[in-house]
A and B are shown apart, each in its own frame.
Chain A
């Protein structure tokens, strides 16, 4: 009686329920596309751009989910580290790919330290990792502002005056990243069916995917999956539960830092005080739109999520204008929808968990039925 088997009807309903979010977004996009008036070629190009811009960041979320720590809202920490790397890069005047590499090198120790700290705190708040990491994000944002707004240019020397606020210290609201703008995207870019494809960027994302797949098969990945399932059993087997959890957050944070650099290289400008706060939210929302849950996310969820989530943002302004007569709707939608998706997905997850618990754990096995091998 360790498992509950369902009838076929229940299975279909269950599958629909589980994939409710991607299905809903799929439908919205399908309705929106004809109204938007965009050509398929244009939309294809947009999707390619968004995938190359955002997927790295979203993939950074997968590791803590594997370790049973839920969605790592603390990825904003990595984003901040990446931004700090970029600010120094601009200041020191290193351009192009070498500049990006420099930014990554600078970001790594900062990310690692922040991730380690975040992991430490999360170990004290087991079972409430998501809320806690969200709050840590706010807290470190305060520290970040302190450093960037007051420390840089005063305590920390910044030579490049165009970076500094007119008052003499603190970094400007926007930092121009023209020196690395699309440096990677344009490297080896190819045209295919009229769509320009940033080959080098996609290659790096592909390598990251391979890394994730490989990582799952390592001892460390296996330990994370074990810790994610049952900390007590893992501990009884001698796995260093706390350490493993910290490592998962550190990896996620470092990857988020790199992802942020990749993202901003595509955007070409850095909103010093905003970019990082939004990015966590959008990445998590995109992952959830791709059908991931708090406990389970795959690479497939990442790409489906980026495509659907951003397709919706591309089509909603013109579609909104056609239908309601207001293009502002699109922007409004963006924030509203991201928060909405996260809320709904979290609530659904909790409801399902409760329902399971109430039935005495009978449904425990159900979740894993159609997930197959990739279950972290």
Chain B
């Protein structure tokens, strides 16, 4: 597969700083036709920045360019814009989506590359008056989607699709460019469920077999080992290892990434939830969330516990918090601290003292152009009038900057958010650090009950246990009850007291976290769900 002749891409001694903040130092590597190169490193190690340089992104130019040189096909290149890179056959799927919500999948995939039907009017008024060839647009996008091995309706509006499908749409867009020979995927699997991820991985392999060189960034190290030929490990902007993937283990990679032994789990604890009162009672909940339908779920959440909700992708675990908060049409009843909470009204949910960190952080999470302290405190200010100095009996309210900054600093330290200061803009943080800001934002709300969905998505292996520990600490120190939804069973088992497994939209069982994984596995595949809680 990997051909050993001249490299397709070579980066030599690349260095980059953002106004004095050295982000990349002397990075060199090469990439061959048909090779899959894994790029791993902690949040903020400089992976995305390196790829932005390769792709000629404007941010790089605007922040003073880079040092070192790049060679494509043996020729030195210097892309002044991403269009140069695209013309040279480089395709990139960014960590953030760039899709138009009101356009269909086909329209997005072929944006500005639409096949056109010739019309005589264009002879007079220019090519832009050719009409679009919708049939061939659909065909082309179907073909690109087909390469990925997924089923997505190409005439569906992107704004109405689940995140996983958006991700596939973005990749399909790169594949639909015939000239693409180097494909950069920046954390493509972060928003995907395990099944979707494995579909993607096999697609990546078959693309490589066709001769496309792929740079694959991921925090899921198993994926890296499984799919890549070579692995580049970055730490603090330097390449610390460049190894064949074959004989690597997760532990090895993690150690090189972090520079120390990675201890994985928070300690188990025993929490007697049965003797604590029921805080949230969900009765006969159904949720109409596409791809995550919930059917007749009843669940009691006890005060002070950390309860996990797990299950295979598409079975409905994500539907539960989304429906409870009212983001998707839902029915049934939810009682919180003895009071019934109206469904389908997010504000009621928040006012009652609950909060939700969504799995779709790219869509709704952050005010990218604002500073970190503002991002962290904004929701709390809106929802429960925190961080405000009140005068004249509350008639006049003033932001309490000192307090806002103190709180922001506190979370930046606690979650080890890599930034220059709380004044930095959210968009300047690396993806994983933005993720941590979302958590901090929810913590700052000081909810009585917190739903967190996929809290460690996009977080590096070293910081993962940190985030989990932070959730546990938060639960213990502030007494916040936590409902954690995750597709990673081991993560749930690490900090939850008990775990409910959702299968086919129903809870197929609830078991204490120390139950062996196999038993959970059985619940996940049990066909007929059972809504009654099994005694622990």
Question: Footprint of B on A, CB under 8 Å?
Answer: 1-7, 10, 214, 217-220, 222-223, 225-226, 229-230, 232-234, 236-239, 358-362, 364-365, 368, 375
Known: A2-B161, A5-B288, A219-B131. A365 touches B360 (CB 8 A): no
B304 within 8 A of A: no
Q: Does B406 lie at the interface of the complex (its beta carbon under 8 Å from any beta carbon of A)?
A: no
Write out the residue numbers on chain A whose beta carbons fall within 8 Å of the beta carbon of B344. 6-7, 10
Query: Which residues of B have CB within 8 Å of A223?
Result: 112, 128
> Which of B67-75, B95-103, B214-222, B469-477 contacts its partner?
B95-103
Contact present for B107 and A364 (CB under 8 Å): no
Could you tell me the distance in whole angstroms from the C-beta of A9 to the nearest C-beta in chain B?
Answer: 9
> Which one, A214, A233, A360, A365, contacts B159 given CB within 8 A?
A365
A-facing residues in B331-374 (Cβ within 8 Å): 344, 346, 358-360, 363-365
Q: Is A226 touching B100 in the complex (CB atoms < 8 A)?
A: yes
User: Can you name 21 A-B pairs with beta carbons within 8 Å?
Assistant: A2-B101, A2-B160, A2-B162, A2-B163, A2-B364, A3-B159, A3-B160, A3-B328, A5-B327, A217-B134, A218-B130, A222-B107, A225-B103, A226-B111, A229-B100, A230-B100, A233-B111, A234-B112, A236-B98, A238-B83, A364-B101
CA of A214 to CA of B129, assembled, Å: 9
B127 touches A (CB below 8 Å): yes
Q: 7 tightest CB-CB pairs across the interface, nearest first?
A: A220-B128, A237-B112, A5-B329, A237-B111, A1-B360, A360-B364, A229-B100
A-facing mask of B2-35, CB < 8 A → 1, else 0? Answer: 0000000000000000000000000000000000
Whole-angstrom CA separation of A73 from B103 in the bound complex: 27
Contacts of A229 in B (CB 8 A): 100-103
Contact flag A219-B129 (CB < 8 Å), given A1-B327, A2-B159, A2-B161: yes
Please name all residues of chain A whose beta carbon is closer than 8 Å to the beta carbon of B166 when the two chains form the complex: 2
Shortest distance from the beta carbon of A265 to any chain B beta carbon, whole Å: 26
- Residue count of chain B within 8 Å CB distance of chain A: 42
Residues on A with C-beta less than 8 A from B359 are 1
The residues of A that contact B360 with a CB separation of less than 8 Å are 1-2
**In the bound complex, CA of A223 to CA of B100 (Å):** 12
Q: How far is the CA of A234 from the CA of B102 in the complex (A)?
A: 13
Determine the residue in chain B with the shortest Cβ distance to A357: B367
Cα–Cα, bound, A365→B83 (Å): 30
Please report the C-alpha to C-alpha distance between residue A81 and residue B488 in the assembled complex, in whole angstroms. Answer: 66
B82, B101, B162, B163 interface centre (most CB from chain A within 10 Å): B101
Contacts of A4 in B (CB 8 A): 327-328
Q: How far is the CA of A313 from the CA of B100 in the complex (A)?
A: 41
- Min Cβ gap A283→B in Å is 25
Residue of A1, A5, A217, A237 near B131 (CB, 8 A) is A217
The residue of chain B having its C-beta at the shortest distance from the C-beta of A365 within the complex is B159
In the complex, which residues of chain B have a beta carbon less than 8 angstroms from the beta carbon of A238? 83, 112
Contact with A along B92-131 (1 / 0, CB 8 A): 0000001111110001000111101000000000011111
Which of B111, B134, B322 is packed against the most chain A CB atoms within 10 Å? B111
Given the complex of chains A and B, what is the CA–CA distance between A232 and B98 in angstroms?
Answer: 9
